[in-house]
Structure 1
Amino acid sequence: RTLQNAYALPGLRRHNLPYIVMPQGGLPPELRRTAIKYIYDAFYGRRLLREASRLHALTELERQQYLALGLPDGKIIVIPNGIDVTAYEFEVDVAAFKRRYNIPEGRPVVGFLARLNHIKGPDFLVDAFAEVLRHKPDAILMLAGPDDGVLDELEAQIDRLGIRQAVRFTGFIGDEETKAAAYRASDVYVLPSRYEIQGITVMESLLNAVPTITTDRCGLATTFVESGIGRVVPFGDVDALAGEIVYLLDHPAEAKAQAEYGRQYMKENFNWDTLADRWIEVYRTCIAERIGHRV
């Protein structure tokens, strides 16, 4: 939903040019600026979608969003965003990271690396972690990320639950080395999002071979279930999330084997070279449909 697309649409129609729509998670109008999105859709958005050669979905979740709008399944292509699969092929000093953030060695760590934002669901994780402490009283919850509107609420929630001594806030982590150390300091990584069209941090977590849990509202949930690379829980089910965390902490060998498989799966299926080949084929097909022969 941009003015550029609105300006481009008449020219695309006039010159009979193929085009592909790539919302990148922006299809649902209710996420933000709802009134503006509805107005845009009424004048431009729906036509832009209807006349597109292809409709790109990052995940099955986004594909379902297209179908809910009544758009034809035959136009939808599902190709995820890729990741630099070599990005974390270096050693880091995890012990130094733990010392920096007062995380004692030997204590199980549940990690979260994302903006402290309502959509990311850190409040859901905090509630679940309080249950985890009933079974794992020495566990640590590491919340790594900048405040994006909910830090005060999280602080109050943590105090209300009486778990302050078991929670660490790191603030913003920018450089790749520190980020890798944060992932590898985690015995379990959780992305408890209310909505996530794909979920880059779960990909990063798996590239660091960390056992990973997300919710059924994450775009990669279907991939997790079908491939077996991670765990999925219903968003808001505190007992389910706590149970999965405790299970992975209680079965480290099984958890690590799943994470190692996840790392290999990421390298094979989410590398940019593989995805680029798929995109080239899509572009060729779209052009061929307009000019009548393959290019």
Structure 2
Amino acid sequence: MKIVHVIASIDPKFGGPQAVAQRIAAAQSALGHDVHVVSYGSADAQRKLFEMGRGIPNFSDIKWHILPEPNLFEKLACPGGRKLLRTVAQSASFLHLHGVWDPILLYAANTAKAFQVPYCLCTSGMLDSWSMQQKSWKKQIAFLLGYRKMLNQAKFLHALNVDEVLLMQPLGLRAPAVIIPNGIFPKEFDALPDKGRFRRQIGLPEGRRYVLFLSRLHIKKGLDILARAFQLVSYSHPDVDLVVAGPPDGAEEEFAQLVKEFGLESRVHVVGPIYGETKISALVDAACFCLPSRQEGFSIAITEALACATPVVITDACHFPEVGASEAGFIVSTDPAAVALGLIAMLDNPVMGKSMGVNGRRLVMENFTWPAIAELTIQNYRFAT
């Protein structure tokens, strides 16, 4: 099959959807398919993309069609994007769109329809109730301007979990939803780095443990919740620090203000975005991973933490019930006190944490791997056509 993935940006700073698109594409390439990606990206974003791609199996087999970072006119009207789509999609077997609210995706759906090429759309949690409440008036206008039609005419909506399917139901969309989760490449996690590498890199003394947050610094990721939770943890656990890793995305200023207000500057380490071996080393060294999100589709960061045998404390809004069912971590509410209690319980019992880490690694390796997920996408493409 010739498969074309379309995403508005390949810049890694935008998080999950970018990581998902490139990994599904690589895993499909490994199955012998002709896989293309159409996107926008600056020279710096492309450099980061291909640097990170060196560690992804079969990444080099993907055929990339990347336009320069768009100006406002290109972002809205997509003249360059539409021309490229007409060229790449003309002989395609299937289009896989990633995201919802970007004009390039609307034009990709129209192109697919013009060439009678079926398409699906990965909603990435963007249509659940919490997401729809953010800038809701803009989204209602977008629905009137063709985005509802784009969703309805998809062969299927690629949902990441059962909760996402349920939370989309109030929208009354006609396209069926198919659950295809995210995952990891086992090869990336076969040989984990020795403990201590990341700790030394950030200058953390040997006797100190840390909780790791790894994600975009966005309001939905719950950084403010984490700051308030860590204040409570700090009283009872003077040997524990907090490491915050990820690209800035609007929530960093409030977080910094809270850290200062709570007098935690010496115990909170904001290290910026980390990728590749550095990211894996940070996960391996962490006493636990924490993602107190208000909304998630299927977090790559949680999945990678589990693959590193690192126990997790996550919120129910992360929609990852398998963590609780497999005893790989704690699932709590978005209340800071609940997050703090989960962290304290984890930190108070390192033996339990180690056991949870083993359970989490088994969970991911047995159920959430990109080769198996790629097979599932191909089956659904063929069933839809």
TM-score, normalising length: structure 2: 0.66
1:178 equivalent to 2:263? Answer no
Instruction: Decide whether aligned partners of structure 1 residues 12 and 162 sit closer, same or farther in structure 2, where only a CA change above 3 A counts.
Output: closer
Q: Kindly tell me the number of residue pairs found equivalent between the two proteins.
A: 283
1:51 equivalent to 2:149? Answer no
The 1-side partners of 2:281 and 2:110 are apart by 50
Give the equivalent residue in structure 1 for 2:363: 265
The 2-side partners of 1:286 and 1:181 are apart by 41
Gaps of 5+ in 1: 288-295
Deviates most, 242-251 or 83-92: 83-92
Deviates most, 9-18 or 149-158: 9-18
Q: Which has the higher contact order (CA 8 A, sep 6+)?
A: 1
Give the equivalent residue in structure 2 for 1:100: 201
| Alignment counterpart, residue 244 of structure 2, candidates 115, 123, 143 | 143
Instruction: Decide whether aligned partners of structure 1 residues 149 and 246 sit closer, same or farther in structure 2, where only a CA change above 3 A counts.
Output: same
1:121-171 deviation per Cα after TM superposition (whole angstroms, max 9, x unaligned): 122111111111222122111112233333332222112112223222222
1:283 equivalent to 2:385? Answer no
- SS of the aligned residue for 1:217 comes to helix
- SS of the aligned residue for 2:242 comes to strand
Gaps of 5+ in 2: 1-100
> Given residue 299 of structure 2, which amino acid in structure 1 is its aligned partner?
G
Task: For residue 11 of structure 1, report the CA deviation from its aligned partner.
Answer: 6.8
- SS of the aligned residue for 2:358 comes to helix
> Given residue 311 of structure 2, which amino acid in structure 1 is its aligned partner?
P
1:220-269 deviation per Cα after TM superposition (whole angstroms, max 9, x unaligned): 2x23234433221111x122111111111111122111111111111121
Instruction: Decide whether aligned partners of structure 1 residues 145 and 3 sit closer, same or farther in structure 2, where only a CA change above 3 A counts.
Output: closer
- SS of the aligned residue for 1:86 comes to helix
The 2-side partners of 1:262 and 1:229 are apart by 5
TM-score, normalising length: structure 1: 0.85
| Alignment counterpart, residue 39 of structure 1, candidates 130, 141, 144 | 141
- SS of the aligned residue for 1:214 comes to strand
The 2-side partners of 1:232 and 1:200 are apart by 16
Trace 1:58-97 onto structure 2 (pairs within 5 A): 58-71=160-173, 75-97=176-198
| Alignment counterpart, residue 300 of structure 2, candidates 200, 220, 225 | 200
> Given residue 55 of structure 1, which amino acid in structure 2 is its aligned partner?
L
The 2-side partners of 1:34 and 1:274 are apart by 36
Task: For residue 96 of structure 1, report the CA deviation from its aligned partner.
Answer: 4.0
> Given residue 167 of structure 2, which amino acid in structure 1 is its aligned partner?
Q
Instruction: Decide whether aligned partners of structure 1 residues 46 and 245 sit closer, same or farther in structure 2, where only a CA change above 3 A counts.
Output: same
> Given residue 154 of structure 2, which amino acid in structure 1 is its aligned partner?
A
> Given residue 278 of structure 2, which amino acid in structure 1 is its aligned partner?
T
Trace 1:110-189 onto structure 2 (pairs within 5 A): 110-174=211-275, 176-189=276-289
Percent identity, please. Answer: 33
The 1-side partners of 2:316 and 2:139 are apart by 25
Give the equivalent residue in structure 2 for 1:19: 119
The 1-side partners of 2:197 and 2:102 are apart by 45
> Given residue 155 of structure 2, which amino acid in structure 1 is its aligned partner?
S
Tell whether the 8 Å contact from 1:114 to 1:145 is kept in structure 2 after alignment. yes
- SS of the aligned residue for 1:116 comes to coil
Q: What is the RMSD of the two structures over their aligned residues, measured on CA atoms?
A: 2.5
The 2-side partners of 1:15 and 1:115 are apart by 37
Task: For residue 204 of structure 1, report the CA deviation from its aligned partner.
Answer: 0.9
> Given residue 365 of structure 2, which amino acid in structure 1 is its aligned partner?
K
Trace 1:207-226 onto structure 2 (pairs within 5 A): 207-220=307-320, 222-226=321-325
